Amino acid sequence: MKKLSNEEFDQLPIKGKGRSSLVFNSIINLKIGEAVLIEKKDWKRKAGPGTLVRYIEKTQNMKFTCGAIEGDKGWAVKRIDPAAANSIAEQNATVFGNKRLELKSDILIFYIGRMGFHKIERIEETVKATVNHFWKEDNVLVKELFFEIIKGLAEQGHIVIENEKTYIPLRKI
């Protein structure tokens, strides 16, 4: 038996409960800011280490960033501060929100252009034309935004929806 100092104890890879692998122990013993490289030869499971990292995050209340290394050389896992993880998530939500808003604006302009040209438009044909025009985007998202737009325009009185058709109403001045 040997008496350990605090530094020696901190350097030991502590094994968790049950049959914990070396990779599991390496990840769980990371301190904030530390990272580990998992090489292909060290990983035997079918699913990538991302699943193990997410499991550890859920059960141990830790946050990590994980990604594959170019050239199939392995994976890198870094423990991050939970506060930093929240700010990253907020930034991603803002970027997604901005992209969604930009796409919605583009769909609105496309729809108004079609209405200006056709005057009366069947909703089904407009949806098809919109999805075809924005083919690089997610079809479900495009349809969802399109229906939000026509609902908003109808509520504001800019268009009228009748019998699966939309048209710009004539107004008396």
DSSP labels for the chain?
Answer: -----HHHHHHS----SSS--HHHHHHHTPPTT-EEEEEGGG--SSS-HHHHHHHHHHHHT-EEEEEEETTTTEEEEEEE-HHHHHHHHHHHHHHHHHHHHHHHHHHHHHHHHHHHHHSEEEHHHHHHHHHHHTTTS-HHHHHHHHHHHHHHHHHHTSSEEETTEEEPPP---
pLDDT of residue 173: 38
pLDDT at 93: 62
The confidence score (pLDDT) of residue 28 equals 83
pLDDT in tens, the chain (173 residues): 677 788 877 777 665 554 557 788 788 888 888 888 888 888 887 778 888 888 888 888 888 888 878 777 888 888 887 776 566 666 656 656 778 888 889 998 998 888 888 888 888 888 899 889 888 888 888 898 899 989 888 888 888 888 888 888 876 53
Q: What's the pLDDT at 139?
A: 84
Query: What pLDDT does 85 receive?
Result: 58
